Amino acid sequence: MKSSPSPSSRPSKAVPKGDLATEITASLVVFLVALPLCIGVAVASGVPAELGIISGVIGGLVVGAARGSTLQVSGPAAGLAALVAETVLEYGVAMLGVIVLFSGLLQIVLGLVRLGRFFQAISLAVVQGMLAGIGLPLMFSQAYPAMDAKAPGTPLENMAGVPGLLADTFADPQALIAAGLGTVTVVLSFLWKKVPGPVRKVPAALVAVGIGIAVAALPGVEVKTLQVGNLLASVDMPGTAQFAGLADVGIITAILTFTVIASAESLFTAAAVDRMHDGPRTRYNPELIAQGAGNTIAGLLGALPITAVVARSSANVQAGAKTRLSRTLHGLWLLAFALLLPQVLALIPISVLAGVLVYSGWKLFAPEEFPKMWRQDRGEFAVMTLTTLVIVATALLEGVLFGLAAGIVLAAVRMSQTVIRQHVEEDTAKVVMAGNATFLRLPQVIEALEAAAEAGKPRIRLDLTGVTHLDHACRSQVEEFTAQQRGKGLRVELLMPGPAKRLPTEADREPESVPDEASARAAARLDPLPRRPVSVPASASTSAGAPGPTAEWFYLDTTPMPEDFAQRYAEGYAQDYGSVYGSDHGSVYGSDQGRSYGEGEGTPGPSYDYFR
């Protein structure tokens, strides 16, 4: 009787355990990165700054404590700022809570039915185009508050108004100071990584905020600063009037848009964060449920939507975090700061926060990805560029749907690569096809078939054995063409695609050479083309090279053939396959069949065509 192993002898699972001090330090770093981002995203979204902090707190305390990803940090994201701003402008801040609430519920449902992995089945070109389409309008929209001005409205209007914005800024000394603070913030964000020593560990956005507060406090400086109220008073739970808005088609569309974009951004960020560390991988369905739980609570409190954020997540990884503790604590620090030191927030210049978001927009836009995509794949480059342009010109949902459609079309076209060779050889018009024959290539297929018919030869050979996929449209066209030409008295040899079949041996042969009535009816059901009655001579049925009952095409043609037809056919068949499909196919389908049908003792008589 074996004794159970002692606890000390049992193999222990390698669970990463971060040092408590390291986790707390990492949480403080993430807090310092998240604070200006939460406020900046709220301002860019057209809602009070307190709502951004509430979403940040929920992202830490709710999503951060849930299972799914270990090091990914969630909160209000710059990627949704433009979408939220449009929604608030059209439906008001009160309806935002309902939209976020039902988006969260929908995310939970998607996670429960295990569709978290589905978001990974999206073309990378569409994803990058979507991010660029979010980042480019974000930069132009935040250029206005960076100069203490108000953005005109749509992305195209914001772009067109930049020359006038610059003229007005240079004419106003206070606006020029604000523009200087915004510019310093952007420059610091780009160059801060090159700062040597431990100073680099301080987030660039926090340094910019400190500089902005100092400059705004100077006498004679009158730049716009953040307007902050009571955190608890800013909570606005949806009421009956807001829930009645669910009957509006526009609200339903907004819910679906928020769900798709927030889920995609969170799960794409999870994949990116997983590449930054060697710890536990993200569990996509639980993570989607966690994101949904966070958005559900955020919606109930009337706050901003929550997604995973790359900036906070990368700061968390770089600070040495190993567990969920750091991202959970950062939410606690946000809550404590907003409750205990709200007056500090009122000192932050808006232009500094706008500068932080201009930099975030640039990172989303990622212009270096466009030439990289051009070098790698020009078709995907077109999808990526079109997605970006449509988002900028219309809206986020329309652009993403257009990009998905363009990606599907590109994949379909590439999957439908068909090589068609049509030529005339003595008394035979030949058409050889290889690749994937789908309805997208139907015009080329019809053109080749018509050219073979117009060649005026008594024989037509259609060789489709090199086709790896033949869809219904192309198959129907080939079968109709074959039936029509045979009806005109022409001899049509048709070789359809199918798995290679072993030539039958003597042991495989049936004693009956003529199929019975039941077999004939079964064959008629399987064969889409008309088949003439077959009466196989005993010599042919017992010969070594004759096809068995599983032969794909086997029919009797009474048209006389030249005496040397078998030899010429075998040689031509071998030559075709050797040139089109390579030496291997030539040896299998050319030389072997040449020996079976041309040189072997079982060579069929002049009245029979055998096609496998």
| Residue 236, CA distances (Å) to 13, 16, 77, 99, 196 in order | 46, 40, 20, 13, 45
Structure tokens at 237: 């739970």
**Is residue 42's pLDDT more than 50?**
yes
Do 464 and 478 form a contact (C-beta atoms < 8 A)?
Answer: yes
pLDDT at 530: 43
The residue with greater pLDDT, 124 or 382, is 382
Coil, helix or strand at residue 369: helix
Q: Confirm if 142 and 354 have CB atoms less than 8 A apart.
A: yes
pLDDT at position 575: 53
CA distance 551 to 596: 15
Distance CA 307, CA 332 (A): 18
Q: What are phi and psi of 13, to 5 degrees?
A: -75, 140
326 vs 519, more confident: 326
The contacts of residue 508 (CB under 8 Å, 6+ apart) are 548
Residue 565 has pLDDT above 60, yes or no: no
Cα–Cα distance measured from residue 417 to residue 166, given in angstroms and rounded to the nearest whole number? 52
Band the pLDDT of 607: cuts 50, 70, 90: very low
Cβ-Cβ contacts under 8 Å for 320 (sequence gap 6 or more): 18, 22, 25, 26
473 contacts: CB under 8 Å, gap ≥ 6:
438, 439, 442
Q: Is the pLDDT of residue 577 over 80?
A: no
Structure token pair of residue 444: 């080329």
What percentage of the chain has pLDDT greater than the value 90?
47
CA 545 to chain CA centroid, nearest Å: 51
- The CA-atom distances, in angstroms, between 17 and each of 14, 20, 273, 327, 541 are 9, 9, 18, 15, 76
Q: Is the dihedral of CA 265, 42, 75, 295 positive or negative?
A: negative
- Antiparallel, parallel or unpaired: β 428-437 and 459-470: parallel
Query: Average pLDDT, stretch 16-33?
Result: 81
Mean pLDDT is lowest, of 248-252, 321-325, 470-474, 574-578, for 574-578
- Quick one: pLDDT at residue 598? 36
Give, for 118, the enclosing helix (H) or strand (E): none
- For the ranges 83-87, 303-307, 359-363, 566-570, which has the lowest average pLDDT? 566-570
- The lowest-confidence range among 13-22, 156-165, 180-189, 191-200 is 13-22
Q: What is the pLDDT of residue 100?
A: 96
Output the pLDDT for position 197: 76
SS3 114: coil
Full-model pTM: 0.67
Per-residue pLDDT tens digits for 478-504: 999 999 999 999 999 999 886 544 445
